[in-house]
Amino acid sequence: MAWKAASDALKKQVWQEEKAKCMAIAIEFYYQEQGKADSEKKLGLRKICVKAQQEYLSQTGTVVPVPNHNTLHNLATGRTVPKSQVNAERSWLAKEEVETVINYTVECAETGFGLDHRRLKEHVDEIAQARYGEKFLKEGIGKQWTHQFVERHHAKLHTYTARPLHDVRGKAANPEMNEKWFDFVEDIQVWGNDGNPMAPECTFAFDESGLQANGDEGHTKIIGEKGKKVAYKQQASS
């Protein structure tokens, strides 16, 4: 199933990230050992790997084995390029463009106009077309590219099932209108009962979202910021 494949890919990515962090600690230990004076005893590569694994375990509570001492030596001396760097060089987007796309995606979701995978692909295609010109593929980036993009940046992005938000309400959501609304509610609650406070049991239905008869539009999958409980998508209805 598609969702299971995506979940497995995400687990693999998280594990690769864990290994890269542990290896970074091992490389730092390697440099520290190389910086010692000739008269000092230096740890060998195998002991550095064990030390890095123990250090990462104490920091995160996760056991991540350092691949082997040869890999450590090759990475530390520049003979091997880290896999993350290789993947970055193969990306259609530059590092700065990646951050721009992430921020734009989050901003669209927060304003009620969240991007689905098709629309996100269109934006990335435009950026890549401007960068590579005729060298860029006519069909654009791959169909699964945006799914992989969200997985790679799972710490910032997440896919949500959007709840419908009437466009009239969306346009009314601004600091000035919000302040007036809460002032109005406060006045009603404090003075609404012939100059007296309203009873708590008389205050209800302030959080109703209403009904929008637009078929299954409310079930659109959109991409938003990681950690949000609800994602809205503005749409008109009658």
What's the CA gap between 72 and 49, in Å, rounded? 8
Across 106-176, the runs of DSSP E, i.e. the strands, are 157-161, 163-166
pLDDT confidence tier of residue 225, bands split at 50, 70 and 90: confident
- 64 and 148 share one domain: no
In a domain, 151, yes or no: yes
| Two structure tokens written together for 101 | 């796309």
- 76 and 95 share one domain: no
Work out the average pLDDT over 75-101. 72
In a domain, 3, yes or no: no
What's the CA gap between 124 and 97, in Å, rounded? 9
Burial of 159 from C-beta contacts in 10 A (0-12 / 13-18 / 19+): buried
- 46 and 134 share one domain: no
- 16 and 101 share one domain: no
- 58 and 151 share one domain: no
Work out the average pLDDT over 46-53. 88
Listed residues 87, 118, 137: the one ending a domain = 87
What's the CA gap between 187 and 175, in Å, rounded? 18
pLDDT at 215 over 50: no
- 64 and 161 share one domain: no
Q: How many domains does the chain have?
A: 2
**What is residue 238's predicted lDDT score, i.e. its pLDDT?**
46
Range of the domain at 112: 91-204+216-238
Residue 223 gets which letter from DSSP?
Answer: E
pLDDT at 21 over 60: yes
List pLDDT tens digits, range 122-162. 999 998 888 888 777 777 888 888 888 888 888 889 888 87
pLDDT at 167 over 60: no
List Cα–Cα distances, 191 to 12, 40, 178, 196, 214, in angstroms: 59, 80, 20, 5, 39
